[in-house]
């Protein structure tokens, strides 16, 4: 079940990141899933560096992991666009 959840969250996070970053990219849905999964890794790593574990005693209504995946996917997409423009 973990792999299916990772794919679904990756797809949603990647799609939201593509909506937030201006410009058009010719990604298919598989590349969008990969973008979201890599974004989840980047967002999770940055989140663990910035926030102390167990800092919040009450769980937020939206999972911070999902928000981290969106932020990470936006960062990865911006870096991708920057590198693609430079090449």
- The whole-model pTM stands at 0.80
Q: How many domains does the chain have?
A: 1
CA atoms of 52 and 46, how far apart (whole Å): 11
Q: What is the pLDDT of residue 62?
A: 47
60-87: pLDDT as tens digits: 544 567 888 899 999 999 999 999 888 8
Torsion sign (Cα): 16, 22, 60, 32: positive
12-32: pLDDT as tens digits: 999 999 999 988 878 888 998
Mean pLDDT across 46-73: 70
Q: What is the pLDDT of residue 15?
A: 92
Domain extent at residue 67 = 2-86
Mean pLDDT of the chain: 82
CA atoms of 32 and 87, how far apart (whole Å): 22
CA atoms of 80 and 87, how far apart (whole Å): 11
């Amino acid at each position: 079940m973990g792999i299916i959840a990772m794919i679904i969250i990756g797809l949603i996070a990647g799609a939201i990141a593509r909506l937030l970053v201006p410009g058009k990219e010719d990604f298919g849905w598989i590349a969008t899933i990969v973008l979201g999964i890599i974004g989840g890794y980047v967002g999770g790593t940055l989140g663990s560096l910035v926030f102390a574990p167990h800092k919040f005693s009450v769980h937020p209504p939206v999972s911070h992991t999902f928000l981290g995946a969106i932020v990470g996917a936006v960062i990865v997409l911006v870096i991708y666009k920057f590198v693609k423009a430079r090449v």
